[in-house]
């Protein structure tokens, strides 16, 4: 029986490499890798590491499918409680600097599993988003206010604020490792505040919602409704709380 491996987020980059080595030794012939759409513009260390492993997988000789999802629902739910408490929804710039086609955990899991049985997905890098049009941060906030029955209130945060924080922490971090880590965290925040999670057109350098494939049937606004109206438990944000 043919053996296959689904590779998700590891504890470290080395864990990915070790998993690939173990897979080869175990006779695995097919790997489905959960990567991230942000590696198409790798400005951050973790993105460069993800891209480097993608390249290792391609060069491994194993059959593969590399799946690059857009934003996750949990990444876009960090301000629900803030809005519920009557505070403003924070946006960078005018709230329309970026857009994404977020995908649910369930729809992404189904897509990943289906890669094992779809030969047409092998040997390919597969960007994937959820159903519906691309959504801006301002539209996310408007949906939350509507579901909570509150008047919309937005607070605009200049991107320059993040630049200043990064500069200060970066300078101090040269001698203090903890501050260097915070500087990198701020760089990650800035990236997601200014870069859309959509397919990047290499010719124009622009993000293209129409070129970003969709899958599944769960929308971000359905997710918000389950949390707010139906009272479902909110997911643990973990690292996603940053965004």
Q: Residue 99 belongs to a domain with what CATH number?
A: 3.40.50.720
Residue 134 scores a pLDDT above 80? yes
Reported as a single tens digit per residue, the pLDDT across 154-182 is: 999 999 999 999 999 999 999 899 999 99
Higher model confidence: residue 239 or residue 40? 40
Percentage above 70 pLDDT, the chain:
90
Q: Are 43 and 191 in contact (CB under 8 A)?
A: yes
Identify the domain containing residue 19 by its residue range. 3-242
Q: What value, to the nearest 5°, has the Cα angle with vertex 214 and ends 210 and 220?
A: 105
**pLDDT confidence of 17, banded at 50, 70, 90?**
confident
Q: How many domains does the chain have?
A: 1
Q: What is the CA radius of gyration of the chain?
A: 19
**Considering the chain, what is the average pLDDT of its residues?**
90
Structure tokens at 100: 């994404």
Tell me the mean pLDDT in the region 201-225. Answer: 95
The pLDDT value recorded for residue 28 is: 87
On the CB side of 98, how many CA atoms lie within 13 Å of its CA? 25
The pLDDT value recorded for residue 242 is: 44
Tell me the mean pLDDT in the region 130-134. Answer: 96
Sort 154 into a burial class: Cβ within 10 Å, 0-12 / 13-18 / 19+. Answer: middle
Segment among 14-18, 26-30, 39-43 with least mean pLDDT: 14-18
Count of positions (residues) in the chain: 243
Higher model confidence: residue 5 or residue 70? 70
Q: Are 186 and 169 in contact (CB under 8 A)?
A: yes
The pLDDT value recorded for residue 1 is: 41
The pLDDT value recorded for residue 26 is: 85
112-126 burial, b for 16+ CB within 10 Å, e for fewer?
Answer: beebbeeeebeeeeb
The pLDDT value recorded for residue 66 is: 96
Give the β-pairing of 28-34 and 3-7.
parallel
Reported as a single tens digit per residue, the pLDDT across 47-83 is: 999 999 999 999 988 999 999 999 999 999 999 999 9
Nearest to 24 by CA among 63, 77, 65: 63
The pLDDT value recorded for residue 27 is: 87
Residue 241 scores a pLDDT above 70? no
**pLDDT confidence of 187, banded at 50, 70, 90?**
very high
The pLDDT value recorded for residue 9 is: 61
The pLDDT value recorded for residue 33 is: 94
């Amino acid at each position: 029986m043919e053996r296959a491996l689904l590779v998700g987020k590891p504890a470290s980059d080395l864990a990915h490499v070790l998993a690939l080595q173990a897979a080869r030794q175990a006779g695995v012939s097919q790997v489905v890798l959960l990567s991230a759409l942000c590696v198409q513009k790798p400005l951050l260390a973790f993105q460069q590491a993800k891209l480097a492993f993608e390249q290792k997988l391609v060069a491994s000789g194993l059959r593969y499918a590399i799946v690059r999802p857009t934003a996750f629902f949990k990444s876009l739910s960090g301000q629900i409680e803030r809005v519920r408490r009557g505070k403003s929804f924070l946006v960078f710039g005018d709230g329309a600097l970026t857009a994404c086609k977020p995908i649910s955990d369930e729809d992404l899991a189904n897509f990943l599993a289906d890669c094992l049985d779809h030969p047409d997905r092998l040997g390919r890098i597969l960007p994937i988003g959820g159903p519906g049009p691309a959504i801006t941060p301002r539209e996310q906030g408007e949906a939350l206010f509507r579901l909570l029955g509150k008047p919309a209130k937005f607070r605009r945060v200049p991107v320059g604020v993040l630049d200043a924080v990064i500069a200060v922490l970066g300078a101090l971090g040269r001698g203090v490792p903890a501050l260097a880590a915070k500087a990198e965290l701020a760089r990650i925040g800035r990236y997601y505040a200014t870069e859309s999670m959509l397919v990047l057109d290499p010719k124009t350098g622009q993000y293209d919602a129409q070129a970003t494939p969709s899958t599944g049937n769960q929308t971000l606004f359905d997710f918000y409704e389950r949390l707010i109206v139906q009272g479902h438990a909110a997911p643990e944000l973990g690292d996603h709380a940053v965004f």
